[in-house]
Amino acid sequence: MDADDTICYCFHVSKRKILKFIRLEKPRRASQISECAGAGTGCGWCIPFLQKYFEQSADADLMTPDEYAKARGQYIASGKGKPPAGAIPPPDAT
């Protein structure tokens, strides 16, 4: 995923913003990334990815932005999370 791709669709937080927050604020726990525009506090889909970025893992970059968005749509459709009003909607299931 590129730096300007969205990681937290609920609050429109990009990978660039998350990585900058981690670099500048030096959170002690992955959960503190929520202080970056609320990332991870909506539907919950992005939490594992925030944790991976926190751990400096490249695993989150194994998906393309389209694959990431579709996987989030499946996560929400399965009833595991509910995006807040104003969140980027999941792509159409086609």
* Per-residue model confidence as pLDDT tens digits over 49-59: 999 999 864 44
User: Using the 8-state DSSP alphabet, how is residue 88 labeled?
Assistant: P
- 43 part of a folded domain: yes
The answer to whether the beta carbons of residues 54 and 7 sit under 8 Å apart is no
Residue 81, number of CB atoms within 10 A of its CB: 16
CA distances from 13 to 9, 88, 93, 94 (A): 7, 11, 23, 26
In a domain, 22, yes or no: yes
How many structural domains does the chain have?
Answer: 1
**Shortest CA distance to 69 belongs to which of 55, 56, 83, 57?**
83
20-24, 31-35, 42-46: the lowest-pLDDT one: 20-24
| Domain of 41, in residue numbers | 6-77
82 belongs to a structural domain: no
Asked whether residue 85 is assigned to any structural domain, the reply reads: no
> What is the structure's pLDDT at 61?
56
Whose tokens are 């990978």? That residue is: 15
Is 93 among the domain residues?
A: no
